[in-house]
DNA sequence: CATACCGCATACTGG
DNA sequence: ATGCGGTATG
């Protein structure tokens, strides 16, 4: 029984059937590349008898990996086949898996720790202090950036030092060399090292490489336009024996050059693999004709681009709405109001909507407006649960338990909670560690009998060492182990002892973390602490996006790559926001082209409706800016756009008529656009005066009699479920919600909450 | 050694 | 606006 491929179009089918030899699939936005990737693997397994064990599929995110695995399972189940043994992973996850198996070959142990950017920065800081390099003269972020860029290029510290001529480069080279030494002694790798070390493992150990080459007969890499040089070299090594390499990508969606992605990897594929089959997927199945036309028109302005035009058989669809807001709060209210209106008038669900922005800093005001309007939402990315200090403290304990050499984690927890081991003591221990070339923890053990320390410090250090030994002795069920470690650490007790709302909240966050442990344990076979730490290191917020709950999704445009929604809002389309300031002034203009590709990505996420908004005035970073509308709005043919907002009201004396005219998209259909003639500008001014919020569905809410709330009351929120009142300041409530563990600020009379009991 | 406060830098995207 | 590091003080 053959896999049913009849649903594929001719180009898709060609790609699915081109299993042998190199294959380049140039897949435009919404052209069904995920279908191609999954059907091709299903075809390999179901029709060609390839074992799942022989297949490696590299994806851009864990979420994409999980989805591909799921889709394949579903497809193959009908044929009595499965995906067991197949590797569907991101580059980073694949590298970790390879490195765990053979860490010893590189001088690490399999318990090595993965340092995230925060840990890594602390290490950079330590190194610069050790080398007495002044951070004021040599900014640490510049050093970090240079080292990271060098690693992405697979340039070693010694190669970097040899090439460095400018003072900052020379210093960066010194730091790079020492940083790597110290990572090695800490048995730790940063994110870049995962790639670099995996490359080293494969290129320096022919037996290891050969084993993978023999195993993985078929290899595919998605989002190839966003691979960096290290990933490119790893790919080529793995594919070299058989050349059954499929890469999929779209040069118009390359948006990660700032972290080393190199467009040449996809542009030069045919030169790298002269026998390559090339398939172009140019039919878009996702978006309305107008949305696609807008996307095509915008990206066509990039001068250095392979010309192409996607087409679609989809209906024309609604015009694209552009909204000029008075300010960022008005913009947010407009979005919340439109969501409620479409939910009401078009019977849409909240999950149909996504709001994109260029920078995370824009999310706050959007969040605020959605909250006030009672629209359930979820922010993906940004400052996450796992970035909170108390959670990082817990994770540092766990890392130090798994990897005793992890000096960064040890230094984080040695005096957290307070144990009277201060900076002076730690510095002295570090000196000993450096002089004798021993691990930080071993130097700590020596310090107990080192009379250069005060006797109080010696006792405190002895206590800390005893604690670490105890923590490492715990065995058994993962959740029990984590709870025991946290309990013995004293973190929760010390927070509770503060007796402030804030500290209590942070203690609750730690308890919430136990729920994460339980979730992990439930979802994995044989969960142990080191597997959990690895999962934590590589997980992202995006991975937890589910379709179970009904909510509007908020995220940056970068995060939105690969996703699609029926209704998309792109907020903050202003010069210096999107395109971002730093790209406008970039010397080569490449930055601006990447911004335009980013706009292209944003637009092509939309299936049915697209809203582009910008604000007359915007407070950001503590001051107010007045930016002209984004050039990207002006690049959309005006027949596809309908404009509304304060500009269409003819606000006098603001100078906005002029700006609108200059861009050509305003003044056409002003006030009569897809908003159905609804003018949100007036709602905005009302809200400012405190008599009402937003429009649409929010209208009824303020009419509810205002209940009174007291600390400790249990409430139920329309979107967030059950919670407890943590504080009351006039009309402003802080409510801690059970489901998320987060504390939200809500306003009495506006927030959709009901008191359950007091 | 801990804490409080002040001045200053930082402020885009992320595995 | 915010957070961090440095410094003065207890």
Q: Find the Å distance, CA of residue A424 to C1' of nucleotide C8.
A: 17
Res A692: pLDDT: 25
Q: Quick one: average pLDDT of A306-326?
A: 95
A587 vs A684, which has greater pLDDT? A587
Q: How confident is the model at residue A518 (pLDDT cuts 50, 70, 90)?
A: very high
Residues 6+ apart with CB under 8 A from A437: none
Nearest nt to A382, CA vs C1'?
B14
Cβ of residue A420 lies below 7 Å from strand B: yes
**Spacing of C-alpha A592 from chain mean position:** 22
Q: At what angle do helices A289-299 and A590-603 cross, to 10 degrees?
A: 180
Q: At what angle do helices A62-77 and A33-46 cross, to 10 degrees?
A: 50
Cβ of residue A605 lies below 7 Å from strand B: no
Residue A645's SS3 state is strand
Positions of strand B less than 7 angstroms from a protein CB: 1-3, 10-15
Nearest nt to A129, CA vs C1'?
C5
Q: Find the Å distance, CA of residue A124 to C1' of nucleotide C7.
A: 24
Point out which residues pair with A729 in neighbouring strands: A732
H-only helix segments in A276-417: 289-299, 328-345, 363-373, 389-402, 407-413
Q: Residue at minimal CA–C1' distance from B9?
A: A136
Q: Are A372 and A408 in contact (CB under 8 A)?
A: no
- Both tokens of A124, joined, read 């950079």
Res A654: pLDDT: 37
Res A85: pLDDT: 95
Instruction: Write the Ramachandran bin of A671: left for phi over 0, alpha for psi from -120 to 50, otherwise beta.
Output: left
Residues 6+ apart with CB under 8 A from A464: A414, A419, A421, A444
Res A585: pLDDT: 77
Q: Quick one: average pLDDT of A361-372?
A: 91
Question: What is the Cα–Cα distance from A23 to A249, expressed in whole angstroms?
Answer: 11
Q: How confident is the model at residue A758 (pLDDT cuts 50, 70, 90)?
A: low
Question: What is the Cα–Cα distance from A243 to A272, expressed in whole angstroms?
Answer: 11
Q: Find the Å distance, CA of residue A131 to C1' of nucleotide B3.
A: 29
Other CB atoms closer than 10 Å to residue A543's CB: what's the count?
A: 16
Q: How confident is the model at residue A711 (pLDDT cuts 50, 70, 90)?
A: confident
Window A521-540, strand B contacts by Cβ < 7 Å: 538, 540
Nearest nt to A360, CA vs C1'?
B12
Question: What is the Cα–Cα distance from A600 to A284, expressed in whole angstroms?
Answer: 14
Nearest-Å Rg of the Cα atoms of chain A is: 28
Res A748: pLDDT: 63
Q: What is the pLDDT of residues A446-505, one digit of tens each?
A: 998 888 888 888 888 999 999 999 999 999 999 999 999 999 999 998 888 877 777 888
Q: Find the Å distance, CA of residue A528 to C1' of nucleotide C3.
A: 36
pTM of this structure: 0.85
CA distances to A104, A105, A202, A237, A242 from A205, in Å? 12, 8, 5, 12, 18
- Both tokens of A427, joined, read 């510095």
Residues 6+ apart with CB under 8 A from A176: A146, A147, A150, A157, A160, A161
Nearest nt to A256, CA vs C1'?
B13
Res A694: pLDDT: 27
Which range among A62-71, A587-596, A699-708 shows the weakest confidence by mean pLDDT?
Answer: A699-708
Q: Which residues neighbour strand C (beta carbon < 7 Å)?
A: A 125, 135, 621-622
Res A716: pLDDT: 65
Q: Find the Å distance, CA of residue A500 to C1' of nucleotide C8.
A: 26
Q: How confident is the model at residue A752 (pLDDT cuts 50, 70, 90)?
A: low
Res A371 pLDDT > 50: yes
Question: What is the Cα–Cα distance from A523 to A520, expressed in whole angstroms?
Answer: 5
Kindly report the backbone phi and psi dihedral angles of residue A27, in degrees, each rounded to the nearest multiple of 5, phi listed first: -110, 110
Q: What is the pLDDT of residues A662-710, one digit of tens each?
A: 333 332 322 222 222 222 222 223 222 222 222 222 222 222 234 667 7
Cβ of residue A618 lies below 7 Å from strand B: no
- Both tokens of A666, joined, read 């305003």
Question: What is the Cα–Cα distance from A357 to A377, expressed in whole angstroms?
Answer: 15
Cβ of residue A587 lies below 7 Å from strand B: no
Q: How confident is the model at residue A735 (pLDDT cuts 50, 70, 90)?
A: confident
- Give the DSSP H or E segment for A717: strand A714-717
Q: Quick one: average pLDDT of A325-350?
A: 95
Q: Residue at minimal CA–C1' distance from B8?
A: A136
**Spacing of C-alpha A546 from chain mean position:** 15
Q: Find the Å distance, CA of residue A462 to C1' of nucleotide B1.
A: 17
Active site residues of A: 33-34, 222-223, 253, 605
Q: Quick one: average pLDDT of A208-229?
A: 97
Nearest nt to A151, CA vs C1'?
B15
Res A751: pLDDT: 60
Burial of A359 (0-12, 13-18, 19+ CB in 10 A): middle
Which range among A91-95, A137-141, A219-223 shows the weakest confidence by mean pLDDT?
Answer: A137-141
Q: Which residues in A667-731 belong to E strands, given as ranges? A: 714-717, 721-729
Buried b (16+ CB within 10 A) or exposed e, A671-708: bebbbeebebbebbeebeeeebbbbbbbeebeeeeeee
The residue count for chain A: 758
Residue A131: HSE in the Cβ half-sphere, 13 Å Cα cutoff: 21
Nearest alpha-carbon partner for A704 in A675, A651, A747: A747
Q: Residue at minimal CA–C1' distance from B13?
A: A558
Res A731: pLDDT: 54
Q: Name residue, tokens 């960066």.
A: A172
Which range among A218-222, A265-269, A530-534, A671-675 shows the weakest confidence by mean pLDDT?
Answer: A671-675
Res A588 pLDDT > 60: yes
Cβ of residue A231 lies below 7 Å from strand B: no
Q: Quick one: average pLDDT of A126-140?
A: 87
Residues 6+ apart with CB under 8 A from A52: A45, A82, A83, A84, A85, A86
Q: Are A252 and A300 in contact (CB under 8 A)?
A: no
Res A678: pLDDT: 23
Question: What is the Cα–Cα distance from A547 to A69, expressed in whole angstroms?
Answer: 17
Cβ of residue A258 lies below 7 Å from strand B: yes
Q: Find the Å distance, CA of residue A109 to C1' of nucleotide C5.
A: 35
Question: What is the Cα–Cα distance from A723 to A726, expressed in whole angstroms?
Answer: 9
A136 vs A152, which has greater pLDDT? A152
Nearest nt to A557, CA vs C1'?
B13
Q: Find the Å distance, CA of residue A456 to C1' of nucleotide B3.
A: 20
Residues 6+ apart with CB under 8 A from A676: none
Cis peptide before A672 (omega within 30 of 0): no
Q: How confident is the model at residue A742 (pLDDT cuts 50, 70, 90)?
A: low
Kindly report the backbone phi and psi dihedral angles of residue A606, in degrees, each rounded to the nearest multiple of 5, phi listed first: -85, 135
Nearest nt to A134, CA vs C1'?
C5
Q: Are A517 and A532 in contact (CB under 8 A)?
A: yes
Percent of chain A with pLDDT over 70: 86
Cβ of residue A381 lies below 7 Å from strand B: yes
Question: What is the Cα–Cα distance from A506 to A513, expressed in whole angstroms?
Answer: 11
Percent of chain A with pLDDT over 90: 65
3-state secondary structure A229-287: HHHHHHHHHHHCCCCCEEEEECHHHCCCHHHCECCHHHHCHHHHCCCCEEEEECEECCC
Cβ of residue A619 lies below 7 Å from strand B: no
| Arithmetic mean of pLDDT over chain A | 86
Cβ of residue A556 lies below 7 Å from strand B: yes
Res A25: pLDDT: 97
Res A81: pLDDT: 94
Q: What is the pLDDT of residues A270-314, one digit of tens each?
A: 999 999 999 999 999 999 999 999 999 999 999 989 888 899 999
Nearest alpha-carbon partner for A188 in A109, A133, A121: A109
Res A209 pLDDT > 80: yes
Kindly report the backbone phi and psi dihedral angles of residue A378, in degrees, each rounded to the nearest multiple of 5, phi listed first: -145, 130
Q: Are A220 and A247 in contact (CB under 8 A)?
A: yes
Burial of A241 (0-12, 13-18, 19+ CB in 10 A): middle
Nearest alpha-carbon partner for A278 in A235, A246, A309: A246
Res A668: pLDDT: 30
Res A409: pLDDT: 93
Res A686: pLDDT: 24
Q: Name residue, tokens 């390559």.
A: A276
Res A754: pLDDT: 62
Res A657: pLDDT: 35
Q: Name residue, tokens 């402003």.
A: A732
Q: Quick one: average pLDDT of A502-522?
A: 88
First to last CA, chain A: 64
Question: What is the Cα–Cα distance from A535 to A659, expressed in whole angstroms?
Answer: 50
- Both tokens of A89, joined, read 């992973």
Res A568: pLDDT: 98
- Both tokens of A741, joined, read 């563990």
- Both tokens of A186, joined, read 């800490």
Q: How confident is the model at residue A611 (pLDDT cuts 50, 70, 90)?
A: very high
Res A14: pLDDT: 98
Res A753: pLDDT: 65
- Both tokens of A65, joined, read 């990996």
Positions of strand C less than 7 angstroms from a protein CB: 1, 5-6
Q: How confident is the model at residue A582 (pLDDT cuts 50, 70, 90)?
A: confident
Q: Find the Å distance, CA of residue A666 to C1' of nucleotide B6.
A: 48
Cβ of residue A358 lies below 7 Å from strand B: yes
Res A431 pLDDT > 90: no
Question: What is the Cα–Cα distance from A165 to A175, expressed in whole angstroms?
Answer: 15
Res A559 pLDDT > 90: yes
Question: What is the Cα–Cα distance from A84 to A456, expressed in whole angstroms?
Answer: 57
Q: Find the Å distance, CA of residue A142 to C1' of nucleotide C7.
A: 27
Q: Quick one: average pLDDT of A540-551?
A: 80
């Amino acid at each position: 029984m053959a896999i049913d491929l009849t649903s594929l179009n001719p180009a898709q089918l060609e790609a699915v059937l081109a299993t042998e030899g190199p294959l380049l699939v140039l897949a435009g936005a919404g052209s069904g590349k995920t279908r191609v990737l999954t059907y091709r693997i299903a075809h390999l397994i179901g029709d060609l008898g390839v074992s799942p064990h022989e297949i490696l599929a590299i994806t851009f995110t864990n979420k994409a990996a999980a989805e591909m695995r799921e889709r394949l399972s579903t497809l193959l189940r009908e044929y009595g086949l499965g995906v067991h043994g197949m590797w569907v992973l991101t580059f980073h996850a694949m590298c970790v898996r390879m490195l765990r198996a053979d860490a010893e070959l590189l001088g690490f142990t399999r318990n090595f720790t993965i340092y995230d950017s925060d840990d890594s920065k602390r290490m950079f800081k330590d190194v610069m202090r050790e080398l007495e390099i002044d951070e004021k003269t040599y900014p640490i972020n510049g050093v970090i950036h240079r080292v990271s860029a060098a690693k992405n290029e697979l340039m070693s510290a010694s190669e970097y030092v040899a090439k460095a001529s400018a003072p900052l480069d020379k210093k960066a080279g010194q730091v790079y060399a020492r940083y790597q030494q110290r990572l090695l002694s800490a048995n730790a790798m940063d994110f870049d090292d995962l790639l670099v070390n995996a490359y080293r493992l494969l290129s320096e150990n022919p037996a290891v490489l050969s084993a993978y080459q023999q195993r993985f007969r078929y290899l595919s890499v998605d989002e190839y336009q966003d691979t960096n040089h290290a990933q490119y070299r790893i790919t080529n090594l793995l594919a070299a024996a058989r050349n059954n390499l499929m890469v999929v990508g779209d040069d118009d969606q390359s948006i990660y050059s700032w972290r080393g992605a190199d467009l040449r990897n996809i542009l030069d594929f045919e030169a790298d693999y002269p026998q390559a089959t090339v398939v172009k997927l140019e039919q878009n199945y996702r978006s309305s004709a107008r949305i696609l036309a807008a996307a095509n028109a915008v990206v066509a302005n990039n001068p250095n681009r392979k010309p192409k035009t996607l087409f679609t058989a989809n209906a024309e669809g609604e015009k694209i709405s552009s909204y000029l807001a008075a300010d960022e709060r008005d913009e947010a209210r407009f979005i919340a109001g439109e969501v409620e209106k479409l939910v009401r008038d078009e019977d849409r669900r909240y999950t149909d909507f996504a709001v994109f922005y260029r920078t995370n800093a824009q999310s706050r005001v959007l969040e605020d407006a959605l909250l006030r309007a009672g629209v359930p939402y979820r922010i993906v990315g940004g400052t996450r649960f796992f970035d909170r200090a108390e959670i990082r403290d817990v994770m540092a304990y766990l890392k130090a338990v798994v990897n005793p050499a992890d000096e960064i984690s040890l230094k984080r927890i040695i005096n957290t909670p307070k144990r009277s081991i201060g900076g002076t003591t730690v510095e002295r221990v570090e000196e000993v560690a450096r002089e004798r070339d021993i691990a930080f923890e071993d130097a700590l053990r020596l310090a107990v009998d080192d009379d250069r320390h005060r006797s109080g410090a010696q006792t405190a250090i002895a206590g800390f060492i005893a604690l670490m030994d105890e923590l490492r002795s715990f065995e058994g069920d993962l959740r029990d182990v984590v709870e025991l470690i946290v309990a013995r650490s004293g973190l929760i007790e010390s927070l509770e002892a503060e007796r402030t709302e804030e500290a209590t909240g942070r203690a609750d966050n730690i308890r919430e973390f136990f729920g994460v442990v339980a979730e992990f344990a439930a979802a994995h076979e044989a969960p142990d602490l080191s597997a959990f730490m690895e999962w934590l290191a590589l997980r992202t917020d995006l991975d937890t996006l589910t379709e179970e709950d009904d909510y509007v999704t908020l995220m940056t445009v970068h995060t939105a790559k690969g996703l699609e929604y029926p209704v998309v809002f792109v907020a903050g389309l202003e010069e210096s926001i999107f395109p971002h300031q730093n790209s406008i002034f970039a010397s080569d203009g490449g930055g601006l082209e990447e911004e335009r590709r980013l706009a292209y990505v944003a637009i092509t996420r939309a299936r049915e409706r697209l809203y582009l908004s910008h604000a007359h005035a915007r407070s950001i970073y503590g001051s107010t800016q007045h930016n002209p509308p984004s050039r990207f709005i002006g690049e959309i043919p005006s027949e596809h756009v309908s404009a509304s907002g304060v500009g269409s009201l003819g606000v006098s004396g603001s100078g906005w008529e002029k700006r609108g005219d200059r861009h050509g998209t305003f003044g056409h259909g002003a006030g009569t656009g897809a908003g159905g003639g609804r003018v949100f500008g007036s709602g905005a001014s009302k809200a400012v005066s405190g008599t009402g919020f937003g429009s649409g569905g929010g209208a009824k809410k303020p009419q509810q009699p205002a209940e009174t709330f007291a600390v400790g009351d249990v409430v139920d929120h329309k979107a967030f479920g059950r919670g407890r009142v943590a504080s009351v300041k006039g009309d402003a409530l802080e409510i801690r919600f059970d489901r998320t563990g987060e504390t939200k600020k809500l306003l009495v009379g506006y927030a959709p909450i009901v008191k359950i009991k007091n």
